[in-house]
Amino acid sequence: MIRMMRHALHAGRGALCLRSFSETRGEVIEDVLQRTDSARLTNEASLYVHWPYCLRRCSYCNFNKYIPRENNDHMMTECLQRETETLLQLSQVSCITSVFFGGGTPSLAHPSTIAAVLETVSRQANLSDTAEVTLEVNPTPVGRSKLEDFFHAGVNRFSIGVQSLQDEDLKVLGRDHSPQQALLTVAEARRLCPGRVSVDVMFGRPKQSVESWENELSELLRVCDDHVSLYQLTLERGTQLFKQVLEGEVTLPTEEETAEMYLCARKTLHQHGLLQYEVSNFARQNAVSHHNRSYWKGTQYIGVGPGAHGRFVPVGEGGVLREARTQTLEPDIWMREVQQKGHATRRRIQLSHLELLEEVLVMGMRMTEGIDHKHWELFSPQLGLHEVFGTSSDVQELLQRGQLILDERGLRCSWEGLALLDSLLPALLVELERRVSLRLQEDEHAKGQTNRTSNTR
Amino acid sequence: MAIVPVINKIDLKNADPERVESQIEKVFDIPCEECIRISAKLGINIEEVLRAVVERIPPPAASIDEPFKALVFDSTFDHYRGVVANIALFGGRVKKGDKIVSAYLGKTYEVNELGLLRPAEHPTQKLFAGQVGYIIAGMKDVKEAQIGDTLYLQEHPVETLPGFKPAKAMVFAGMYPMDQSEYPALRSAIERLTLNDSSVTVQRDSSMALGAGWRLGFLGLLHMEVFNQRLEQEYNASVIVTAPTVPYKAVLSSPKLIKEHGSEEITVVNPSLFPDRAVVSEYLEPMVLGTILTPDSYTGKIMTLALNRRGIQQNMVYIDDQRVMMKYLFPLNEIVVDFYDLLKSMSSGYASFDYENAGYQAADLIKMNILLNGEPVEELITIVHRERAYNMGKAMCERLKDSIPRQMFEVAIQAAIGSKVIARETIKAFRKNVLAKCYGGDITRKMKLLKRQAEGKKRMRRIGNVEVPKDAFINVLKRKEK
């Protein structure tokens, strides 16, 4: 922590955010500033920066990634800076709480790119010295060799795409590194940012069995840091893997086996102190990902770069509603638009009150802590959780079955319920819509009444 | 009855008039010499036919001096003039202004217009015994001019002409609109189609699954298919057609029920109203006498098919050295769905099938229930012969399994007779159903998907604890696609 402060960037990383924080690693105590909570909603945001380039395509990946024909790094960096500046101004946030560099393969970028973007942020808003700055890393030897420079550039958390510790599987997935290289990368990252390294692993891979998965997990648990992300391999249309499965070249484990893999992984990680805090994320020693948590908490986020997504209120334009925004997908076109207009926002959709609540609900329920009453109140001051969900017979059934919990803390899934979240959500959404529209009708009616009474005076 | 046998298409390469003549002689006992060989396409021997009609067919045995008596053999509906009945006069005469009576309904009408068919309508002042023509007498509904009915003058009632039986529907099908909002449109389409087809019986019906609809009765499967096609093509109606059911009968044994229904023998058309075994002395199912004509190379396969359909052979005879004629007594419901199609396909189209009503016979019928996690589904109650119950039950369970989405608990789909389960399918519970990654773009996609599921959920029905989409029942009830 102290070392990071010494390496603090040059002027611009102005005043600290209006938050107090403890010295314990990464922990931030939400404190006395409850009174400014609703102002905080539009006052702060997290920043996501997308580096779209990759050297190769992994067979399963459907992210917005491109294999560059020529080196556009310099222009890309400049455009990233430009768009960051523009969107920060548009959002009028005074504080950026965390930064996440994703992609593509962000670790292909030059560390100076990271530094440049961070600097731009600091010029526009407060970026605390202790704000989480994460970089996704592809654990090749090249990636590993750059870690220290990234660290000096301002990165204080590494998310390493290990995916698998089986050489064969890595090949099937189209990865360009070996298990050993991955492990070495993890070690180096831990050296630089102890307690702030996350490892991504995939299950439900072709030819995987529950047993081999268990063994792999044990091996992983010996060398990982304090944060693990477990992702089920999902077949996406348009990927090479999808085609291979369709044509029968590759077979995935059955649904039963995959479910078993997930459930036993949860148990195993728990046994090693890695507590599940979200559907796919596990941490010990409080090493949660603050950036991702802010997604699930429904806070604003600004997406910069080709295909990036954002959710914020364009206060700078006089906006009052939160918008769902997407940046242009294709890097070349994106760069052109950024150069012309300062940003390359392709889509902007205003979120109605109901839509915003729906997102808060869906995202919040992904966390094991769920949604607490105070948090819900931030977005729905008039309708509390009990009011919305307490009387529905469908919800009652879920509560009785022990899949859902609604109590003085708030609304959340039980351990069993979390694995079936997508089966629970439709019922919750139906109820939410019902209640909100009802309240809207009542309000309209009431408004009508008062108008009438005032007119008769 | 005089028959003039005419053998057509002698111009075809593989025509074999001699063979056909000898078949005719064998089957119908008509001497070969009476056959007239023609080619309508090339115009060969047509004169012969006309001459034979004049020479061989006796004039109608009718006297102008007898009281007026006419047979209605067809009717159509004209929007401006009302019902136009086609009649054949068997006695007396009739003119404009006469008061005539329909024997079937006992209603009196005044003749507005009449004439001959040449083949277009050719109005005249009078019609005489022996003539065939049309008559318009202020009837508003085609049902007032029943085919086979007798017309006579009000002052001179006569004995009805023999052989009049109201056209009996033998095949039933449920017809429902895709969505209840389309009910009025479908109703008017059916009304208009049946205006010109008095042989279709229409009964309002409703099913919990499909809403309000009709149970229509047709003279045959082909009749039904044509009707359906016309509905879709001419009236743009989209219809759910449920498997045809046949009119079962039950002989009640409970005096209370007999009084309630007004008779001992009742017809059961709606499965959920099927009377329980305890109050019934016997169940009856309609039978038909089917005649199958086939080249003898397919005989084996066809006999197997017939046996499969609970057919009992009555007769089998070779009508020539290559073709066989078989008569089978079939339960009607065994042939109303796809018997004809199967017969045709297994004989490469060479076999032919015809059937006639053969009354009712006692049958071991049972009411089969479909249960979802123990909860019975009323819309899917089926009346079925005990021998067929397993196959039917299994098929329904399988179709349901494909139509019901997975739930968070296991779903047991069962077919049961009383308390005995005869078939079962299981839908496994979800053990894991949650999106692994939900960042950025995933969120938008996921929200869309979830909202769609939430919408779908609003439209689902709850049966016990199982959520069932509306079209699940349609999938089970509708006729199998060919």
pLDDT bucket at B421, cuts 50 / 70 / 90 = very high
B448: contact with A, CB 8 A cutoff: no
Is the ipTM here above 0.90? no
- A98-144 per-position pLDDT tens digit: 999 998 999 999 999 999 999 999 999 999 999 999 999 999 999 99
Quick one: what percent of chain B has pLDDT higher than 90?
39
pLDDT of B380 strictly over 80: yes
- B274-284 per-position pLDDT tens digit: 888 888 899 99
CATH topology match: B69-153 vs B367-477: no
- B137-156 per-position pLDDT tens digit: 988 887 788 778 889 998 88
pLDDT higher for B480 or B53?
B53
Contact (CB<8Å) B434/A259: no
Q: Which of B432, B444, B449, B450 to mutate to test the interface with A (most CBs of A within 10 A)?
A: B432
Q: What confidence score (pLDDT) does residue B193 get? A: 85
**Cβ-based neighbours of B102, under 8 Å, separated by 6 or more:** B72, B109, B144, B145, B146, B149, B150, B151
Bond prior to B119 in cis (omega within 30° of 0): yes
Q: What confidence score (pLDDT) does residue A450 get? A: 67
User: Would you tell me how many other CB atoms lie within 10 Å of the CB of residue B259?
Assistant: 10
Contact yes or no for B213/B174 (Cβ under 8 A): yes
Give how far the C-alpha of residue B312 lies from the chain's centroid of Cα atoms, to the nearest Å: 23
pLDDT, chain B, mean: 86
3-state secondary structure of B184: helix
Query: Can you state the angle between helices A141-153 and A111-124, rounded to 10 degrees?
Result: 30
Rounded-to-integer distance, Cα A307 and Cα B432, Å = 30
CB-nearest partner of B436 from A231, A308, A420: A231
Alpha-helical segments (H) within B299-375: 299-308, 332-335, 339-346
Q: Nearest to residue B175, comparing CAs of B149, B212, B129, B122?
A: B212
Q: What confidence score (pLDDT) does residue A31 get? A: 39
Q: What confidence score (pLDDT) does residue A280 get? A: 95
Rounded-to-integer distance, Cα B310 and Cα B287, Å = 11
- A62-79 per-position pLDDT tens digit: 888 898 888 899 999 999
**Which residue stretches of chain A have pLDDT < 70?**
1-38, 450-457
pLDDT of B313 strictly over 50: yes
Contact (CB<8Å) A309/B447: no
Contact yes or no for A226/A195 (Cβ under 8 A): yes
Which sequence spans correspond to the domains of chain B? 6-56, 69-153, 171-241, 250-362, 367-477
Alpha-helical segments (H) within B329-430: 332-335, 339-346, 389-403
Q: Domain B367-477 is of which CATH architecture?
A: 2-Layer Sandwich (3.30)
In this structure, the dihedral spanned by the alpha carbons of residues A180, A185, A191 and A197, taken in order and rounded to 10 degrees, is: -110
Q: What confidence score (pLDDT) does residue B417 get? A: 92
Give all domains of chain A, ordered by start, each with its CATH number: 31-296 (3.80.30.20), 354-449 (1.10.10)
pLDDT of B192 strictly over 70: yes
What residues does B425 pair with on adjacent strands? B413
Predicted TM-score of the model (pTM): 0.71
CB-nearest partner of A279 from B434, B454, B456: B434
**Cβ-based neighbours of B346, under 8 Å, separated by 6 or more:** B298, B301, B302, B305
User: Would you tell me how many other CB atoms lie within 10 Å of the CB of residue B208?
Assistant: 12
- Contacting residues of B for A295, CB less than 8 Å apart: 438-439, 443
Contact yes or no for A147/A154 (Cβ under 8 A): no
User: Is position B480 annotated in a ligand binding site?
Assistant: no
pLDDT of B316 strictly over 90: yes
Dihedral sign, CA of B218, B220, B224, B226? negative
Rounded-to-integer distance, Cα A446 and Cα A314, Å = 31
User: Is position B11 annotated in a ligand binding site?
Assistant: yes
CB-nearest partner of B430 from A292, A397, A423: A423
B426: contact with A, CB 8 A cutoff: no
Q: What confidence score (pLDDT) does residue B348 get? A: 87
Q: What confidence score (pLDDT) does residue A18 get? A: 37
Q: Which two tokens stand for residue B209?
A: 């699954």
Strand order in the sheet with B113-117: B108-110, B99-102, B150-153, B69-78, B82-91, B132-136, B113-117, B121-124
Q: If 0-12 CB within 10 Å is exposed, 13-18 middle and 19+ buried, where does residue B13 land? A: exposed
Mean pLDDT in residue range B304-318: 93
Across the A:B interface, residue pairs with CB atoms under 8 Å apart total 96
Q: What confidence score (pLDDT) does residue B214 get? A: 87
- B243-291 per-position pLDDT tens digit: 766 778 999 888 888 888 888 888 886 787 888 888 889 999 999 999 9
A101: contact with B, CB 8 A cutoff: no
Contact (CB<8Å) A48/B434: no
- B355-371 per-position pLDDT tens digit: 888 999 999 999 999 99
A419: contact with B, CB 8 A cutoff: yes
Q: What confidence score (pLDDT) does residue A348 get? A: 95
Greatest mean pLDDT among A335-339, B416-420, B457-461: A335-339
Q: Domain B69-153 is of which CATH architecture?
A: Beta Barrel (2.40)
Contact (CB<8Å) A422/B450: yes
pLDDT of B352 strictly over 50: yes
User: Is position B205 annotated in a ligand binding site?
Assistant: no
pLDDT higher for B456 or B326?
B326
Contact yes or no for B303/B311 (Cβ under 8 A): no
pLDDT bucket at B216, cuts 50 / 70 / 90 = confident
Q: What confidence score (pLDDT) does residue A100 get? A: 97
A324: contact with B, CB 8 A cutoff: yes
Q: Which two tokens stand for residue B266?
A: 């009742």
Q: What confidence score (pLDDT) does residue A8 get? A: 42
Q: What confidence score (pLDDT) does residue A22 get? A: 38
CA dist B5 → B49, B53, B228, B319 (Å): 9, 10, 35, 17
Look at the domain B171-241 and name its fold: Alpha-Beta Plaits (3.30.70)
Q: What confidence score (pLDDT) does residue A449 get? A: 73
* Phi then psi dihedrals of residue B335, to 5 deg: -115, -5
CATH number of B250-362: 3.30.70.240
User: Is position B442 annotated in a ligand binding site?
Assistant: no
CA dist A236 → A139, A233, A243, A256 (Å): 24, 9, 9, 20
Q: Which chain A residue is nearest to residue B462, measuring alpha carbons?
A: A394
Contact yes or no for B108/B64 (Cβ under 8 A): no
Alpha-helical segments (H) within B68-144: none
B42: contact with A, CB 8 A cutoff: no
B168: contact with A, CB 8 A cutoff: no
CB-nearest partner of A359 from B439, B447, B458: B447
3-state secondary structure of B387: helix
Rounded-to-integer distance, Cα A143 and Cα A137, Å = 7
